[in-house]
Amino acid sequence: MFNSLSDRLTATFKNLRGKGKLSEADVDATVREIRRALLDADVAVPVVREFTASVKERALGAEVNEALNPAQQIVKIVNSQLQEILGGETRRIRMAKTGPTVIMLAGLQGAGKTTLAGKLGYWLKSQGHRPLLVASDLQRPNAVTQLQVVGERAGVPVWAPHPGTTSEFDDPTGDPVQVARDGVAQARAKLFDVVIVDTAGRLGVDQALMAQARDIRDAVDPQEVLFVIDAMIGQDAVQTAQAFNEGVDFTGVVLSKLDGDARGGAALSVASVTGKPIMFASTGEGVKDFEQFHPDRMASRILD
C-alpha cells in the first residue's frame, strides 16, 4: 500500500536536490507534482486542495530552517502535513473509569470487522487485559460462527446468542441489541474489562443497518465506536466514512487490508474528511497482523 504515492513524492523531492534557494516557481512546480501524486493515489479532492495550499504557504512563508537545504525543508513540511491529515497524534483507546470498556465495531460487510475483533482481542490480552468478544452480527449467515472461530484463534472468549450453532437464524430470539446488552452484562458479572462488540454490515450503506448500529450503540454506551474501512475500496471510502460518521458518530477509524497493493489515498483521506483519528491498521488475515496507527510513523514511511 502507498508504494506508488511514496515513489512519486520521493521523485519530486529528488528534483529539488542541489538547489540553493527555492524560487516561487520552484515551489509552484513542486506543489503541482505533489498535487498530481496525491490525486493519482486517490486522495480525496478537498483533502488534496487543503494539503497543497498548506504546503505552498509554509514553503514560501517564514518557516524556513537555516539548517536544512530546500529539499529537506519541503520534505519536512510535507511530512508534517501528511501527519496532520492522518489525524495528528497517536490516539489510544479510551478506557472506562469503572466497569468494562466497550468497543463497538461498525463498517460495511467484508470490511474486516470480525477479523479485527480477534486481532484487537489478542492485542488487548497481550497487554494484560481480559477481553470478551460479543457476536451482535446476526445478519450475515455464519457471522457468529466466524467470530467463534476468530475468538478461539485469538484465545479470547465469545458471547454469542446461541453458542455453537452454525446459523444464527436458528435462534428465534436473535436480537442484536439484546445480545450486545447481555454481552456487556456478562462481562461485568465475570470481570472482563474490555468488551468488543461485532456488528452487522451490508454491502452498501443502508438505513436499516445504520439504525441497528445506532440502537446497539445506545444500548451499550461504548467508549469507542471504531469504523472499519477496507483500504482497497478506493474512492468509495470517503463517502462510506461520511455516511457512517453521520449514522453512528464513530470515535476512531481502523484501516484494514493495508497489506494490499491498492493506491490507498482514499483511506488516507478518511481521517481528514471526518475529523476522526485513525487508531489501528490491519495488515493481513492473521491474528497478529495488526498495529496501532501512528500518524507520524506512517507519514515517515510514505516519505521514506
**Smallest gap, in angstroms, from Cβ of residue 99 to ligand GDP?**
26
CA distance 2 to 152: 33
Residue 282 binds ligand GDP, judged by CB under 6 A: yes
Q: Return the residue of 171, 206, 259, 296 that touches ligand GDP, per CB under 6 A.
A: 259
- C-alpha–C-alpha distance, residues 160 and 148, integer Å: 8
What residues between 103 and 132 interact with ligand GDP by CB under 6 A?
107, 109-115
Give the closest residue to 143 by CA, choosing from 131, 123, 158, 130: 158
Residue 108 assigned as binding residue: yes
Q: Is residue 284 a contact residue for ligand GDP (CB under 6 A)?
A: yes
Contacts of 219 (CB under 8 A, 6+ apart): 177, 180, 181
DSSP state of 219: H
Q: CB of 56: closest distance to ligand GDP in angstroms? A: 35
Q: Which residue(s) pair with 282 in the sheet?
A: 290
Task: Confirm or reject binding of residue 152 to ligand GDP (CB under 6 A).
Answer: no
Site for ligand GDP in 81-100 (CB under 6 A): none
Residue 234 in contact with ligand GDP, rule: CB under 6 A: no
Residues 6 or more apart in contact with residue 227 via CB below 8 angstroms? 106, 107, 241, 244, 245, 248, 250, 252, 253, 254, 276
Q: Could you say whether residue 171 binds ligand GDP (CB under 6 A)?
A: no
110 marked as part of a ligand binding site: yes
113 annotated as a binding-site residue: yes
Binding flag, residue 176, ligand GDP (CB under 6 A)? no
Annotated binding residues, written as ranges, equal 107-114, 198-202, 256-259
Annotated binding residues for GTP, written as ranges, equal 107-114, 198-202, 256-259
